[in-house]
Chains A and B, each alone.
Chain A
Amino acid sequence: MSGGYNEIHPEPTTFWSKYILSFDHKVIAKQFLWYGIFFLGVGGLMAILIRWTLANPGIPFPVLGNLLFPASGGVVPPDTYSMLFTMHGTIMIFYAITPILIGAFGNYCIPLMIGARDMAFPLLNMLSFWFAFLSGAVLLISFFVPLGAADGGWTSYPTLSTLIGSPGMGQTLWCVAIFLFGVSSTMGAVNYVTTVITLRAPGMGYFDMPLTIWGLWLTAILNAIFVPVLGAGVILLILDRVMGTTFFLAGASATSGSGDPVLFQHVFWIFGHPEVYILILPAWGIVSDLLSFFSRKPAFGAKATALSMTAVTVLSTLVYGHHMFTTQMSPLLTQSFMTLTMTISIPSAIFFANWLGTIWRGSIRFDSPMLFSLGVVFVFGLGGLTGLHLGTVTTDLYLHDTYFVVGHFHYTMAASVLLGGFAGIYFWFPKMFGRMMNETMAKIHFWGTMIPLNGIFFGMLIVGYGGMHRRIYNPFVYESLQRLIPVNNIITTSALLMGAFQLVFLYNFIASLLRGPKAESNPWQVGTLEWTIPSPPPHHNYDVIPVVKCGPHELGNPNLKTGRDFQYQTEELVEA
């Protein structure tokens, strides 16, 4: 089974083999999707608790407050606040975005969009999910151990994350969970890279692959290379905490010998900066495809977009030092990292311009996947532009560790990826579940997300620029920051609104799953391979492996005589 011959696997017959220990990439994708949505809810609730505390310090959290924090009368206590921002970041990055964007879409789309029957290693694929599950379980258990969950921030810098800063078991379990998640991600990466290289349908060259696959493939390459770097870091941190080594202990905190806390920062960001692109590349790929599909015209400069994404992937490995400008790095190094960081703007600008070129004079269909894709263009533009201030040494020294940073990375890593994820869910839901989602509710969800989202993250940019530091329980004990209370109230109100509108999505998702109208095989009228087969696809995907004859974005060709405005990838290319 694990050899992967692209042959038809026997269909599972029992409940366990079909839904729990399934080898089928489509079932594993759905497992990752449910897993990601669950953690999105958990991480989202934490975000609301954080925002409530910042807007209403000392006031009990309504309804749930007394249940969650009975000892403090429903008020979020300071130590819990640290746990909340630590676990919110960890959960959203590793346990919500990664499973949805990479686990769900990677598993679902890669075999279907390249014309394969499954992943190269189905057993490894199943193990990848169950390692992620185990990791999630360990992370959740860490809330219930003495002294609670990890509270050293999602970056877990020593000495905050050593026994000096976090004496409880929570931080150790955090490290174990992250290590297990790394194993899961590496397994997935091995599978994705191998599948894309070896199981593409006959005739499908690399540039005939949809850009979604380019994004997922490049993400997998980055995962395979850089997740083990974090793995090494957390192993050493575990050894420091459990076995008594002193890798990250220095000065008075080291009883003998001397380690180096800053080394962890290097290790973390060597992984951490590519991680940003690990998360965002799939969203870029999805958006690049969807903009073309819903503009009813070929993706402008598709090859250049693919190559730009590749260039960003390469450059992302060389810029990590911009996260550490304030660690007394040599000016020569800071300037080198700054220059390399600025260089990323070039390929980013190319594919951003290509996105605009794609929608320019297109016959745009404002269906929900397109709305969310356009949302990504907007928020990623803002996120990218605010990144310039943080990549520049002089401005970063002022803005470092302020809410400006929080606003920036939420625009890039949260807003862009979240909207890209929703675009993907609305787009592939009919294929995944064979039913259509309610379009009106989807549009309400879009506007209910898009407007408050900007209220939150633009507000964060403002308060950060105003000098408000991140990770402070009650910043308004400082008189100079009290003028920022009104903006903070706007941010929190926006967060509550955005949270409320996610319930619309949840209702739409579940209701459509149960009783949505049946989906046709190709409801969006696009030509990539997955739309040539029924919705949902049969167990083995393709009765006959398709032969690819043209690219994925053949839309709007006036010479088409088929009565359609698009070509399937299996059709001979009609010259425009």
Chain B
Amino acid sequence: MSLKRSELQINLATNIVIISVSMLFATLFMGYAIYRTSATVWPPMGISRISLVLPSLSTVVLFISSFFCYRVSKNIRKVNFPNAHRNLNLTIVFGVGFLILQGLLWNQMKNTGIYVSSGIFASLNYAFTWIHFAHMVAGLVGLIYLKRVLKPETINLQTKTKSVENFWYFLEIVWIIMFVTLFVF
């Protein structure tokens, strides 16, 4: 009974955290919508569009990371801990890869003359990716925590895995929305 309750608590808390963080990103996207719809030209005159290569690569890398993350909980359900560890390592590696790609993206933006202070277009691109980056770091901390507790005797292991996994998926969804809104259109 009490184990079930603690599982419910962890699930509930994770969902509340995801709702809270969703509200933060929703606010950012609301701002984006206002700036975007009130602009006559987008990107503003004199600013070049950001190349899609690095954002697309980031999307693919994050997708692969999420795929391995999905495999982790599957492995745990089947009590296959060696595979769970391997897939978790891969999730983390691809997650770190995503962060590196973000660094490259900022460098590329700078090299093409899009500086932080270059106006609202640059503000949106830098700030949104920074804020998402910060959440990705938090997600990675969750994955590293999971790595530490990934052993059969851990209480509520499946629930904890599911929680970290859901947060990771959530960040991927946010990135996909950012990819489409900031970079594609």
Contacts and interface: CB of A to CB of B under 8 A. Distances in A.
A121 B19 contact: no
A257 B13 contact: no
B127 A194 contact: no
The A contact surface, by secondary structure, is helix
A190 to B, nearest CB: 5
A3 B21 contact: no
B111 interface: no
B23 A228 contact: yes
A254 B16 contact: no
A263 B34 contact: yes
Nearest to B156: A3
Interface in A224-259: 224-229, 231-233, 235-236, 239-240, 243-247, 254-259
Interface stretch (B2-10, B50-58, B80-88): B2-10
B122 interface: yes
A269 B136 CA distance: 28
B34 A260 contact: yes
A228 B28 CA distance: 11
A185 to B, nearest CB: 10
Question: Which of the four size classes fits the interface of chain A?
Answer: 35 or more
A198 B12 contact: yes
Nearest to B134: A235
Interface stretch (B65-73, B113-121, B177-185): B113-121
Nearest to A197: B12
A239 B123 contact: yes
A254 B13 contact: no
B79 interface: no
Contact of A270 (B13, B27, B117, B119): B27
B27 A232 contact: yes
B2 A247 contact: no
B25 to A, nearest CB: 8
B152 interface: no
Contacts of A228: 20-21, 23-24, 27
Contacts of A232: 23-25, 27-28, 31
Contacts of B119: 246, 254, 256-258
Contacts of A193: 12, 16
Contact of B127 (A124, A190, A236, A267): A236
Nearest to B126: A245
The B contact surface, by secondary structure, is helix
A5 B155 CA distance: 11
A263 B120 CA distance: 13
B172 to A, nearest CB: 19
Contacts of B44: 257
A198 B127 contact: no
A434 B150 CA distance: 45
A189 interface: yes
B23 A229 contact: yes
A41 interface: no
Nearest to B4: A198
A260 to B, nearest CB: 6
A244 B156 contact: no
Given A6-B2, A255-B117, A247 B127 contact: yes
A438 B26 CA distance: 50
A263 B34 CA distance: 8
A190 B119 CA distance: 37
A172 to B, nearest CB: 16
A334 interface: no
A194 B35 contact: no
Interface in B74-121: 115-121
A469 B63 CA distance: 56
B10 to A, nearest CB: 8
Contacts of A4: 6, 9
B123 A245 contact: yes
B24 A259 contact: no
B12 A259 contact: no
B27 A260 contact: no
Nearest to B119: A257
B131 interface: yes
Most buried by A among B16, B118, B130: B16
Interface in A108-125: 120-121, 124
B157 to A, nearest CB: 12
Contacts of A235: 127, 131
Interface of A: 3-7, 120-121, 124, 186, 189-191, 193-194, 197-199, 224-229, 231-233, 235-236, 239-240, 243-247, 254-260, 263, 266-267, 270
Interface of B: 2-3, 5-6, 8-10, 12-13, 16-17, 19-21, 23-28, 30-31, 34-35, 38, 44, 115-123, 126-127, 130-131, 155-156
Given A120-B13, A190-B13, A198-B8, 10 more contacts: A3-B9, A3-B10, A190-B17, A225-B19, A228-B24, A235-B127, A243-B117, A244-B116, A259-B123, A267-B31
15 contacts: A3-B10, A7-B2, A124-B13, A186-B17, A191-B13, A193-B16, A229-B26, A232-B28, A232-B31, A243-B127, A244-B117, A245-B127, A257-B122, A263-B31, A267-B27
